[in-house]
Structure 1
Amino acid sequence: MMSGGLVSIREALSSLKPTEQKVAKYILEHPEQVVNVSVQRLAELAQVSEATIVRLARSLHLKGFQELKLRIAADLATKPKHAESSYQEIRIDGSIDSLIDSISHNNMQSIQDTMTVLSSADAARAIEALSQARKIGVFGVGASAVIAEDFKQKLTRINRWCETAFDFNSAATLAANMTEEDVAFGVSYSGQTEDIIQSLQIAKENGARIVTLTKFGNNPVAETADIRLFTSSLENSIRSGAMASRIAQLNVIDILYIGIASQNYEQSVQSLERTRKAVSWAKRNG
């Protein structure tokens, strides 16, 4: 069953236009009512035009209001409580048991919410593009550099040509030498990182296909992309946000990695075995 309507609205809320925000807030406050009304009735209740509701659905990357209603109905059936309250505040003065419970719970919640906003069709397109690429350039700054480096390490082990860049100078240099045979992969949870935006634009001007991994919603990084992948992380605390969002991003990276490896399974297995032996030999003789 399709779900994720409420998660999508909360995640995208700050990036919506004012009139779209108005109806989005109404939906969040009255989800049970919304699943039982027509687009015309919702327009009256939220005091917006029917066109605004259609635009909201498109901003949420949905086909229309009917799909949004179906997703909200699924949310209500599977999550009685609002997604916001399902995240636990991390207390630095709490016990170790509460710390283990809250952090683990938030990480799992972030992955579950990401499953509702990650399009399987777009994930398949990304896997196909990355699998066919001559070279993959992965761009990430700050915390996103950890995600970029993890992806590079995985791809290198299955003999994929992959380079990473963690600052604008190295990113611009990498992007400037990409071609239409290559894929530029930009990682930015906020979707606002200027260095990533500029680097992806350079790569795009040189013909490279652009794949992005950002939080759900409209943002400048995703707007540069040919293929957009999204994660979700809706914690109440900024301290926990940086942690759970990283886990959600790494989960998507694992999905892409296994998808790419499975495109040519036998060669991937052989490459993994060669790298394993090489590392083992180096350790024995180092």
Structure 2
Amino acid sequence: MNSESFDTKAVGPRIRMMMPLLTPLEAKVVDTVFAMRDFSDETSLKQIADDAGVSEAMVVKITKKLGFSGYRDFRTAVSQYNRQPTAEMHQELSVEDTSREIVQKVFRTSINALEETLSILDMVAFDKAADLIHSAKHRDFYGVGGSAQIARDVSHKFLRIGVRASVFDDVHMMLMSAALLTEGDIAIGFSHSGNTTAIIEALQLAKRNGAQTIAVTNYNSSALAQAADVVLCSTAQGSPLMGENAAARIAQLNILDAVFMAVAQRDYESAERNLDRTMSAVKSKRKDRLS
């Protein structure tokens, strides 16, 4: 990534995805930069070093570790990213906020996550994921906590078009499932951090048994991403109160909604036929308003 070839919208997301590779001190320097509201093309290397309490040489080293040619290249990229309209959407919640301000900030954070996730979405990985899900014999989804809810939502969508998937949120059940997967099957691990041990171990076991694996995560450099054949990556800015998970969940649901559509497209007639059947099956359970 350099200032001549980067996608401006993707600068922030790509830097955030590299954060797991940084040491705590290196991450502190990056956080210092993004916390500066007046960071611009005029911000000196010395100012960053002084504010972060590190040497100028360390700042340069960190910018290179993030994929830039040096501090000036990093400064240009981040300055242009900060001038993007979506960058202004992200504002931290405050105890003084009115209800209207709370609603606006929450919505804008989600909109920002969607815009930035779209800017970094790997379309090759997207198509590969759709192909694998469509052609798989068995599809097992792994997730715990909030990630399990995403897995269930995705499984529900696929069932509507006749694409069956099983969801596991228990550590033992995940490993049992992974032990039975073989070639032609697929395992999908959902983890915002990409560091959830239970999901990583299940995906690794499934892969050793010949199954294809997909990771849905916020960090493409995470342990889960490294263990998967295909990575679908969301991105969201963190905040002390909201964290990253809330906005990232919205982004991940949208990625999987798009995957769902792509899978349906691969056999549209069958998807349409199964959708009619499943909708008819539950129609009697709906109390629709009579015309």
Residue type of the partner of 1:2? Answer: D
Structure 1 residue 218 displacement after superposition? 1.3
CA contact (8 A) 2:20 2:221 kept: no
Query: What secondary structure, in the 3-state scheme, does the structure 1 residue paired with 2:242 have?
Result: helix
Structure 1 residue 45 displacement after superposition? 9.7
Q: In the comparison of the two structures, how many residue pairs are matched? A: 263
Structure 1 residue 87 displacement after superposition? 1.2
Residue type of the partner of 2:181? Answer: M
**Judging changes above 3 Å, is the alpha-carbon distance between structure 1 residues 235 and 87 closer, same or farther for their aligned structure 2 residues?**
farther
Indicate the structure with greater helix content.
1
**Judging changes above 3 Å, is the alpha-carbon distance between structure 1 residues 19 and 143 closer, same or farther for their aligned structure 2 residues?**
closer
- The yes-or-no answer on 1:2 pairing with 2:44 is no
Structure 1 residue 225 displacement after superposition? 0.4
Structure 1 residue 100 displacement after superposition? 1.4
- 2:274 aligns with 271
Query: What secondary structure, in the 3-state scheme, does the structure 2 residue paired with 1:239 have?
Result: coil
**CA deviations over 1:174-203 (Å, ceiling 9, x no partner):** 111111111100000011111101111111
Residue type of the partner of 2:159? Answer: T
For structure 1, list consecutive stretches of 5 or more residues without a partner in the other structure: 34-42, 58-63
- d(CA) in 2 for partners of 1:22, 1:243: 23
Query: What secondary structure, in the 3-state scheme, does the structure 2 residue paired with 1:233 have?
Result: coil
User: What does 1:1-286 correspond to in 2, within 5 Å?
Assistant: 2-3=7-8, 4-16=10-22, 32=41, 47-48=60-61, 53=64, 56-57=66-67, 79-80=82-83, 86-283=89-286
CA contact (8 A) 1:11 1:234 kept: no
- d(CA) in 1 for partners of 2:281, 2:145: 30
For structure 2, list consecutive stretches of 5 or more residues without a partner in the other structure: 1-5, 43-55
**Judging changes above 3 Å, is the alpha-carbon distance between structure 1 residues 217 and 24 closer, same or farther for their aligned structure 2 residues?**
farther
Decide which moves more: 11-20 or 184-193. 11-20
Residue type of the partner of 2:258? Answer: I
Structure 1 residue 242 displacement after superposition? 2.6
- 1:36 aligns with none
- d(CA) in 2 for partners of 1:140, 1:94: 34
- d(CA) in 2 for partners of 1:22, 1:88: 20
Decide which moves more: 5-14 or 95-104. 5-14
- d(CA) in 2 for partners of 1:107, 1:22: 25
**Judging changes above 3 Å, is the alpha-carbon distance between structure 1 residues 95 and 81 closer, same or farther for their aligned structure 2 residues?**
same
Residue type of the partner of 1:264? Answer: D
